[in-house]
Every structure is written in C-alpha cells, then in structure tokens.
Amino acid sequence: MKSAPNLALVGPMGAGKSSVAAILAGRTGLERVDVDAEVERVAGTSVTAIFGHSGEAAFRELEAAALQRLLQGSGLLVATGGGAVLDPTSRALLAERAFVVHLHATPAEQMARLAGDTSRPLLQGHDAAARLEQLARERDPLYAAVADLRVDTAGSTPGQVASRIRAALEGRWRGVAA
C-alpha cells in the first residue's frame, strides 16, 4: 500500500482528467486542483495565450512550478496537464508526493472527445490525428513510469471512471481521505 499525501491524475489531453477529478473529489473528500488553472491564475492569462506569446518551453516551466507548489500540500486531487510528465523533476515529485493514476485514452478516443475543441495549443496548425499519435508515442512510456494505477477510459463516462478509481484505491493507497 502506498502512503502519499495527494492523489494525481495523469494522461493525455482528452482522457478526462479534469472531468474525472471533479467527480472523484466529491467521492474522496479531497480538494480538487487543476494544474492548468493554477498556471493561468499565476500568469494572469490563458494557456493558449502563454503558448502563443511565450511558447511551449515557457509554459512547461510555469507548469512544473505550479505542480511543485501544489504537491507540497496534502489532501489534494491534482488534475495535471497532459505534458506534466515531460519534466523529470515533476515525475519524481509526483512519485514522491502522490498516488498517481494514469487515465489512458487512445489517440482515436482523444480525437472523438476533442472534436471541435479549439483550445488545445498542441493541436493548432497540425494534423490533429497524427499529432495525437506522436504525443502518445512520446508520453505513454512516461505515464506508465510514474503511474501507481492505470485506468482505461474507453467507452466510459467520467462518473464510471471515477467509480473504478475509487474502488481501486481501496487497499492500494493510504492518503488523507482514502
């Protein structure tokens, strides 16, 4: 059984991290926090604007700093951004300060869920399907390396995924509210 002060959700865009976190927080008594929302709060602008004005590298620095601040607390359910696992320090911090759940979604599932969503900077100006495949090749091994639990989200509602996670936490995680 892993003892960690926080629960964190990792996975690709469109896997349902924010939606599942909203439901799961109510079922666990944890305080839900979203890393992208924290970045926007600190920066005073949107993730899309940060990418547009400062680039991905600047966003990743803000993301890593936000994740570090949040994980110093306890009793949090942290919805990370899809690229939060790119930073080795962030991966180490996740492993140390959270029970990490990888929400898995295939690129095809992501495409279906993200249809019409124009707020994803990494998909702008690209063949979205090809870009999602590329990101999966790069990031799936990182999600797997940091995860304490992997949950496949295929064909499931956020509520169903939250229920599976809540049930799977029994006997695996000793946290504030588990």
Q: What is the CATH number of the domain that holds 34?
A: 3.40.50.300
- Give the pLDDT confidence score for residue 41 in this predicted structure: 94
- Give the pLDDT confidence score for residue 76 in this predicted structure: 96
Specify the amino acid at residue 156: S
Domain containing 162 equals 2-174
Q: In degrees rounded to 5, what are phi and psi of residue 71?
A: -75, -10
Helix axis angle, 47-54 relative to 35-43, nearest 10°? 60
User: Which residues are part of a known binding site for substrate?
Assistant: 36, 60, 82, 139
- Give the pLDDT confidence score for residue 177 in this predicted structure: 46
User: Which residues are part of a known binding site for Mg(2+)?
Assistant: 18
- Residue 159's nearest CA partner among 8, 35, 26 is 26
The pTM is what? 0.89
- Give the pLDDT confidence score for residue 178 in this predicted structure: 41
User: Which residues are part of a known binding site?
Assistant: 14-19, 36, 60, 82, 120, 139
The Cα–Cα gap between 39 and 49 comes to 11
- Give the pLDDT confidence score for residue 123 in this predicted structure: 57
- Residue 63's nearest CA partner among 74, 52, 82, 49 is 82
- Give the pLDDT confidence score for residue 116 in this predicted structure: 64
User: Which residues are part of a known binding site for ATP?
Assistant: 14-19, 120
- Give the pLDDT confidence score for residue 171 in this predicted structure: 87
Low-confidence ranges of the chain (pLDDT < 70): 113-126, 176-178
Q: Indicate the number of domains in the chain.
A: 1
Residue pointed to by tokens 């990494």: 122
- Give the pLDDT confidence score for residue 122 in this predicted structure: 53
